[in-house]
Chain A
Amino acid sequence: MDMPVAKKKLGLKERYALMTRGLDWQTTYQPMDKVFPFAKYEGIKIHDWDKWEDPFRLTMDAYWKYQAEKEKKLYAIIDAFAQNNGHLGVTDARYVNTLKLFLNGISPLEYMAHRGFAHVGRAFPGVGTRVACLMQSLDEIRHSQTQIHSMSNYNKYYNGMHSFPKMLQRVWYMSVPRSFFDDAVTAGPFEFMIAVGFSFEYVLTNLLFVPFVSGAAYNGDMGAMTFGFSAQSDEARHMTLGLEVIKFVLEQDPDNLPIVQRWIDKWTWRGYRVLTLVAMMMDYMLPKRVMSWKEAWEVYFEQNGGALFKDLARYGIRPPKWLDQIEFDKDHISHQAWSTLYQYGGASNFHTWMPSDEEMDWLSAKYPNTFDKFYRPRFEHWRDEQKKGNRFYNMTLPMLCQTCQIPMIFTEPGDPTQTCYRESTHKGMKYHFCSDGCKEIFDHEPEKYKQSWLPVHQIYQGNCFNPGVDPTAEGFKPLPVVLDYYGVGFGRDNLDFEGSEDQKNFAAWRGAATTNV
């Protein structure tokens, strides 16, 4: 028998390369272009897929092991949280409305990211790229499910979360985040990677992740906080992938630069518009605030993002367009958005309210140049009217921006007293926009954006009623039937927080849990 020969130990990098690289081959029974039909149509030129640097060297066995351990810990906490009625420990029941935004508007989109990464993973001919994308696809279904499972307990006790897949596809303001992901997955694979992998996961993720997860922590919500923390190491991998993809594409061919730059401009703006909902959540919906939207933007975009774009300058990349407008708008958008959701509180799936005196003072301090001047008077007026029994509900439908689908609530750059309107004509039809950014995005791809499923248009066209509804009947009232179509229970899932079932139940349950009456 031979003496066993001690094998040369392989380094981690070398070993990982053997575990992935070389698994692929050049097909000959079918042409490569047919096997990978989406690899070239965006005009991105890749000469050598092997130049891809694997951002994380994780073999499947290690992945299964680590992820299973994380899941075990997470679900133990979710179970304990449910068993102990952990929901009664949150600051106050208004907080739960942030979870309604999250479960309705984000968790099903984590799922979209899962399907999108499966698509691009299959579409890229490079092994390293495929493995990274498919691993992220797997992570994204994790995030979707851990969020659903964490918030499942809230759904048992609070309204507005019971039909989240239907609400995402139907409730009007939900078309803002949803169209972002529909936009990304209908783009080519490289654009998807810049949209989701880079712009969303790398540039903007902290502006979504930190507000919600820290918001949960600040407001005593152990359930939501834990899935956030548990997702953090996955997110770190995703950020690395987002950065790697942009560097890889830019290094492959100089012709890629203008295409990538356009995508960065577009997707930073698209992402920023979606974050309007987060801005509103941070400044108005968290009973215990983490920081203001403006502060978050300054830290996570202006400082961190600034450093990133300085780093990318060596590839010829410049910072995204329209930053001057964002800079101006950071004093305004959260107030403009909350005003809108407050007015349309009869048509949405969560509760709204006017800030208390103490909360208005916080807003004045955080927005010294704008809050008292432009927004406080309006809010105090609404609050006074509500005290008199005239809680304001706007019953007319707003015009929406064709691109971001937010109502036309934003103001002219430099003039917060003028609503910003832009329009374009395409094949004889007029399209309306909230900003130069949204207009330019449309103008570049009108055939795509003219398809937008705009909730207001759809209501007017009669497409938001359940079967059997007759809009020509005498005395027809659209709002109740539209809410029916949305799956929103009028007065239960919506309207003001003051007097809501959530408010009453929370008070009664917390009373039962903390006193002896």
Chain B
Amino acid sequence: MSTIDLRTVTIKPLRHTFTHVAERIGGDKPATRYQEGTFDIQATHNFHYRPTWDPDHEIFDRARTAIVMKDWYAFRDPRQFYYGTYTAARARQQETAESNFAFVESRGLVSALPEAVRHLALELLLPLRHLEWGGNMNNAQICDYGYGTAISQPHIYKAMDHLGIAQYLTRVGLLLADETALDAAKQQWIADPKWQGLRKYVEDSFVLKDWFELFVAHNLVLDGLLYPLVYERIVDDDITMKGGSAIAMLTLFMTEWYGETAKWVDATIKTAAAESPANAQQLSQWTREYLQRGVRAIQPIARHALGANAEAVLGDIEDQFKSRVAKLGLAL
């Protein structure tokens, strides 16, 4: 089939993109919206005043982390998220989540859940609302202190993702039980011994000063242990096998979100580690330290949910995590 070109008036542009973008993409050629909306948007010099809340630093300051980069725009989000692509991606996912919630509700699948499964799901998922709130805080903190839009931008998206996940977990709670279950879960989060390791891990992360260390502690290690444990091994495998596939439908957002987000986390670690042996060493050291603490923190949850099988599953998760970070250039 032949095509006919529609005639439009053609005028020759003076340039194809902004100068600072052209410098980063190897010359004056059409740039993507991710590139134009990201490159060099954060101010870097000639700041007017130092923060009254942190007079030792500039407003944006490379010295807020031990990680050193020659160019902080070496980082790329493999998802190419700027606001438009980010909201489009999440809008699609929330549509699926919405129809899953509607399906579970309209088919009465909750009342079909075995009581033990319903109980376990509530016990396991609802205290995580608070952990997700911690994820919101920590990612807001990284967005605040991070250097360069390429790395700070994805953190506001991730901060809001954690809030969104906390809200999905709330809906699961309201669907499987009622408001009182939310209060009970908060009590567990605060006082139940099996949650204290995780709560301490998160509270300790709230006071970290180095934002890249915080990235390792929360986004690489904590997410990297907890999501595989909770959503893949407990919900998708164990709970589903025991007749709780409705729970897996209600948490599909989390499973997919983790798969997507981990790719960006990996790309970030890989870029920072490849920059210099010093970076790789620092990242490895942090990862080692937080991995040890993280595994200890999730142990009681795994044991509670998986019983005798817990040690084997935890061993798997730890091994998978280690081989994942080895591919990124870290030596544990």
Contacts and interface: CB of A to CB of B under 8 A. Distances in A.
Interface in B216-252: none
Contacts of A25: 130, 186, 189-190
A28 interface: yes
A60 B49 contact: no
A41 B144 CA distance: 19
A138 to B, nearest CB: 6
Given A118-B144, A152-B36, A159 B160 contact: no
Interface string B64-91: 0000000000000000001110011011
A396 to B, nearest CB: 22
Interface residues of A, number: 96
Given A1-B111, A134-B140, A448 B43 contact: no
Interface string B19-62: 11000000000000100110011111111111111000001100
Contacts of B190: 25, 28
A27 B144 CA distance: 21
A122 B11 contact: no
Nearest to A463: B46
A2 interface: yes
Nearest to B18: A162
Contacts of B51: 185-186
A27 B140 contact: no
Contacts of A24: 130, 133
A487 B19 contact: yes
Determine chain A's interface SS by DSSP, over half rule.
Answer: helix
Interface stretch (A61-69, A256-264, A355-363): A61-69
A219 to B, nearest CB: 20
B301 to A, nearest CB: 17
Determine chain B's interface SS by DSSP, over half rule.
Answer: helix
Contact of A144 (B41, B49, B132, B152): B41
B11 A67 contact: no
Interface stretch (A106-114, A338-346, A380-388): A106-114
B102 interface: no
A287 to B, nearest CB: 21
Interface string B140-182: 1101100001001100110111011011101100100011001
B59 A186 contact: yes
Contacts of A422: none
B311 interface: no
B129 A23 contact: yes
B13 A145 contact: no
B95 interface: yes
A7 B98 CA distance: 18
Nearest to A31: B207
A83 interface: yes
A111 B83 contact: no
Interface string A410-452: 0000000000000000000000000000000000000011011
A49 B112 CA distance: 40
A137 B48 contact: no
Interface residues of B, number: 85
Nearest to B164: A60
Given A114-B156, A156-B16, A185 B137 contact: no
Contacts of B206: 27, 30, 34-35
A299 interface: no
A64 B206 CA distance: 27
B75 to A, nearest CB: 16
B259 interface: no
Given A111-B41, A144-B41, A451 B50 contact: yes
Given A186-B52, A453-B46, A163 B19 contact: yes
B83 A115 contact: no
B164 A18 contact: no
Interface of A: 1-4, 7-8, 10, 18-20, 22-25, 27-30, 34-35, 37-38, 41, 59-61, 63-65, 67-69, 71-72, 75, 83-85, 108, 111-112, 114-115, 118-119, 121-122, 127, 130-131, 134-135, 137-138, 141-142, 144-146, 148-149, 152, 155-159, 161-166, 168-170, 175, 178-179, 182-183, 185-188, 448-449, 451-453, 458, 487, 505, 509, 512-513
25 contacts: A18-B182, A25-B130, A34-B206, A35-B206, A60-B160, A68-B87, A71-B83, A71-B84, A83-B8, A108-B43, A111-B41, A122-B137, A134-B140, A149-B37, A152-B36, A156-B16, A157-B13, A161-B18, A166-B40, A169-B46, A178-B48, A186-B51, A186-B52, A448-B52, A449-B49
Given A1-B112, A24-B133, A149-B37, 6 more contacts: A30-B204, A65-B95, A85-B11, A146-B83, A186-B59, A509-B11
